[in-house]
Structure formats: C-alpha cells, structure tokens
C-alpha cells in the first residue's frame, strides 16, 4: 500500500515520513474529502448561527413577557369580519377567523385567475393580430398596466369605488346598481330548484369531460372521430335546463331595493373585493397577454401555412394547430403568474378585504404573537403556492410533447 502511493523516488530512510505527509496531502487534496469538510464546516456554522438566533429569541420573549406557543388559536377572536364564506361571529376562535381568511384568499384568487386569464388571452391574441391598430391598442394596454405597481392598481380602484355616489344617488345599471357600497344586482330568489340545477350543471360538466376522454380513446384506438360537440353541449346546457324545468322552473328574482341608506336584497359585491379583484387581475392580465403572445409566436409560421394550404378555417388553425403547440410554451410561465397572483392577493391589507394576510395582521396586533402569526401565514402561503404549481405541473405534463 505504501509502495503504491510512494512514487516520489526519495531515499529509503526518509520514505516513511515522506509517504505519511503525501498521504495526508492527498487526503485533503482529494475532491470528495475537501467537499465533505466544506459542508461539515457550513453545517456547523449554520447550526451555531441557528442556536444563537434561537437563544436570542427565547431571551427576548422572556424579557418582554410574551408567551409562546399556538394556544391562543383556541381563544375567541373578538373581531368581526365583513365578508365570510362560512358562518363566523366575533365569539369564534382565531382558528376559525384564519379559516375564513384562507377561504377568502382562495375565493379572490380563483376569481382573479379566471378574470386575468380571460383578459390576458384576449389581449395576447390581439397582440399578434394582423390588424395594426388592434395590435397597437393591445401593446399600449400591456405597457400601461404592467409598468405600474400592483399596489397602485389596487389603491386606485379602491379610491374610484369609494368616490362613487352613495346608494341614494346610485348609478343605475341594467339589473343592478353601482354605489360606494359596491355593485348590487338582482339574483334568483332562494328556491331548492336552483340547488338541483347547479348540481346538474356540475354533473353535466363531469359527464362531458368523460365523453371527451372516451372519444379520445376511440380516436386513438379505432381511429374513428366521434362528433361529440353536440352531446357535450347537451350535457352542459340541456341537462341543467331540464332539471330546472322539472323542479318547477323557479324564476322569481331577489331584486335590491333602497331602504334607508342602503340597499336590501339582491347580491352585493363589496367595494374591497372589487378593488382587490380588479387591481390584481388587470395587473396580471398584462403579463398573461405577453405569455400568450410569446406562446403563439413560438409556433413556426410554416405550420400555419401548411394548415391554410389544407384549407383549415382560421378558427381551426387556432384550435388545432396554434393553441395546442402554444400551450406547451405557455403553461410553465402561466403557472408562476398564477402563484404570484395568489400572493398578490395579500395586499388586501391596505384596502381591508379580510383575506389571510389581513386577518393574520389583525391577529398579530391583538395578541402580540408576531412569531406565530407570521409563521402560520408563511406556511399557508407556501401550501397555496406549492399546490398551485403542483396542479399546473400535472397540467403541463398533459400538454407537453409526448415523445415515444
């Protein structure tokens, strides 16, 4: 063994000592040992630093007589929340308040994603239009909206809504009223038939999805194209319509009426929700438009020409040639845009829509337990971001090129 490492050709009397030195040198010189040492050092530093921070926190909390732990979550919250998706009163616990906030975050995020995607696709497609004027209008839209901070968008809309006329001088819209208390409009009056109709709609959507999967299977295995368009339309529209008719065709409306200083009845979208939704979706729509543009432009021109040569209609070119290929480019950046939209919903703190960050902030100022409140907030947002990117990754796998 010594013979192997001792290739320096020194005299035999010094050989042993020289060999030990050389072995030590190669021991520290070898890549893996050196990297192990670096990492151990790093880990030790990190552990020491963490311990130092931890002991500081313990000492500071002790000195300030702040109790630690999540016990406060079971105490009553003692604050009211303006908008809740589940029943909540001021006597409920902090946990329930947090759940209310979490659901509000999900609600505004989902609405925002739908609105931003719709606007973004429209503007993005306009951005690559052959019509020069339309293209320029869309460019202006993108540049104006995305170079302004999202928080300014939200504050601006909240100011606009706050300065709308009071309910007595409400701006009348077809079927509703626009006031500084939000947008109030008529909704169908409560009737059990509506629930069944809604269920039928849901069932129709699921069934139509199944039909399209089946048709796809049929197409790939038997190379036969089934005309499923009408079947799916009947399932989505016809089925709920039939259920609605069978359950007695309820059509009474719950119309808003001015009583005193505010409207009674109908359904009201609150100013805070509207401002937050408009702000974050308009801002994101500008980015989504750019993603859509990049996706569409990534489809080689030859493909369009080939499709036109096969006398595809322009709708079919879009539907079967451009969009499927553009999707591959679009889905990963869209995913990160959706995640950032969800995170941007937290600026509701400035305008008072009671979502997660807002409620955590109230909780933090009431209990003084900043550490716990912020930890909860961070973990929940991490879960939201993680789930969104997971879902989008699954979708990405669905649209990505399948190479066999």
Partner 1 sequence: MQNPVVFWLRQHLFSSVAQSVLTLLLLTVLALVGATILRWGVIDAVGFNGTAEQCRAAAGACWAVIGEKYRPILFGLYPYDEQWRAALAVLVWFVTVGLSLSPMCWHSRLLWPLWIVSLVVMSVLMSGGLFGLPPVSSADWGGLPLTLLLFSGTVIIGMPVSVALALGRRSPLPFLRGLSVVFIEGLRGVPLITILFVAVNVFPLFLPAGMEVNKLLRVIIGIALFFACYQAEVIRGGLQAVPRGQYEAAAVLNLGYWHTTTKIVLPQALRICLPAVTNHIIAAMKNSSFVIIIGLFDVLTATTAVMQDPVWRRYYIETYVFIAGLYLLFGFSLSRYAVWIEGRIDERRNPEGVS
Residues that bind partner 1 (CB under 8 A): 35, 38-39, 42-43, 46, 53, 56-57, 59-61, 63, 130-134, 137, 143-144, 146-152, 155-156, 159-160, 163, 339, 343-344, 346-347, 349-350, 357, 361, 364, 370-371, 374, 377-378, 381-382, 385-386
How far is Cα 26 from Cα 24, in angstroms, rounded to an integer?
5
Residue with Cβ nearer partner 1 (214 or 382): 382
CA 230 to each of CA 22, 217, 235, 238: distance values in angstroms, whole numbers, following the listed order: 82, 18, 9, 10
Residue with Cβ nearer partner 1 (36 or 173): 36
Per-position DSSP letters for 99-167, written without gaps between them = HHHHHHHHHHHHHHHHHHHHHHHHHHHHHT-S-HHHHHHHHHHHHHHHTS-HHHHHHHHHHHHHTSPPG
How far is Cα 396 from Cα 338, in angstroms, rounded to an integer?
14
Q: In 175-243, which ranges are E strands?
A: 176-179, 182-185, 187-188
CB of 81 to partner 1, least distance (A): 19
CB of 20 to partner 1, least distance (A): 27
Residue with Cβ nearer partner 1 (26 or 39): 39
Question: Nearest 5°: phi and psi at 199?
Answer: -60, -40
How far is Cα 178 from Cα 171, in angstroms, rounded to an integer?
5
CB of 156 to partner 1, least distance (A): 5
The burial of 95, by beta-carbon neighbours within 10 Å (0-12 exposed, 13-18 middle, 19 or more buried), is given as middle
| Region class of 248: left (phi > 0), else alpha (psi between -120 and 50), else beta | left
Residue with Cβ nearer partner 1 (99 or 150): 150
Residue with Cβ nearer partner 1 (39 or 192): 39
CB of 377 to partner 1, least distance (A): 5
CB of 317 to partner 1, least distance (A): 15
CB of 42 to partner 1, least distance (A): 6
CB of 49 to partner 1, least distance (A): 10
Q: In 174-290, which ranges are E strands?
A: 176-179, 182-185, 187-188, 253-254, 257-259, 262-264, 267-269
Residue with Cβ nearer partner 1 (268 or 346): 346
Q: In 167-207, which ranges are E strands?
A: 171-173, 176-179, 182-185, 187-188
Are residues 299 and 326 in contact, defined by beta-carbon separation less than 8 angstroms?
A: yes
How far is Cα 269 from Cα 321, in angstroms, rounded to an integer?
40
CB of 260 to partner 1, least distance (A): 26
CB of 44 to partner 1, least distance (A): 11
Residue with Cβ nearer partner 1 (155 or 327): 155
Are residues 226 and 147 in contact, defined by beta-carbon separation less than 8 angstroms?
A: no
Residue with Cβ nearer partner 1 (188 or 332): 332
Closest CA to 7 of 25, 22, 17: 22
Residue with Cβ nearer partner 1 (80 or 378): 378
């Amino acid at each position: 063994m010594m013979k192997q490492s001792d290739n320096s050709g020194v005299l035999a009397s010094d050989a042993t000592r020289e060999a030990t030195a050389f072995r030590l040198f190669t021991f520290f010189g070898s890549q893996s040992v050196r990297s192990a040492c670096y990492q151990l050092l790093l880990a030790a530093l990190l552990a020491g630093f963490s311990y130092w921070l931890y002991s500081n926190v313990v000492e500071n909390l002790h000195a300030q007589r702040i109790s630690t732990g999540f016990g406060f979550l079971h105490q009553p919250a003692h604050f009211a929340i303006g908008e809740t998706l589940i029943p909540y009163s001021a006597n409920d616990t902090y946990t329930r308040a947090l759940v209310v906030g979490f659901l509000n975050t999900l609600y505004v995020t989902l609405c925002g994603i739908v609105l931003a995607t719709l606007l973004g696709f429209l503007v993005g497609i306009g951005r690559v239009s052959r019509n020069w004027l339309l293209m320029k209008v869309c460019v202006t839209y993108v540049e104006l909206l995305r170079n302004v901070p999202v928080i300014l968008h939200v504050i601006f809309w909240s100011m606009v809504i706050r300065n709308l006329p009071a309910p007595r001088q409400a701006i009348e819209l077809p079927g509703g009223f626009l006031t500084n208390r939000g947008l109030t409009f008529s909704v169908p009056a409560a009737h059990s038939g509506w629930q069944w109709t809604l269920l039928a709609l849901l069932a129709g959507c699921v069934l139509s999805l199944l039909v399209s999967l089946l048709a796809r299977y049929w197409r790939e295995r038997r190379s036969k194209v089934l005309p499923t368009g009408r079947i799916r339309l009947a399932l989505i529209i016809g089925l709920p319509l039939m259920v609605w008719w069978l359950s007695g065709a309820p059509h009474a409306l719950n119309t808003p009426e001015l009583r005193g200083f505010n409207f009674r009845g109908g359904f009201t979208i609150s100013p805070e929700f509207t401002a937050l939704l408009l702000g974050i979706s308009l801002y994101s729509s500008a980015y989504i438009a750019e993603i859509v543009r990049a996706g569409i432009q990534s489809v080689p021109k030859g493909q369009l020409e080939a499709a036109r040569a096969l006398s595809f209609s322009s709708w079919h070119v879009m539907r079967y040639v451009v969009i499927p290929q553009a999707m591959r480019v679009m889905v990963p950046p869209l995913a990160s845009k959706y995640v950032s939209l969800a995170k941007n919903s937290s600026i509701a703190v400035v305008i008072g829509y009671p979502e997660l960050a807002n409620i955590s902030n109230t909780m933090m100022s009431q209990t003084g337990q900043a550490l716990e409140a912020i930890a909860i907030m961070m973990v929940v947002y991490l879960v939201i971001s993680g789930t969104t990117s997971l879902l989008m990754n699954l979708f990405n796998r669905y649209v990505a090129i399948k190479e066999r």
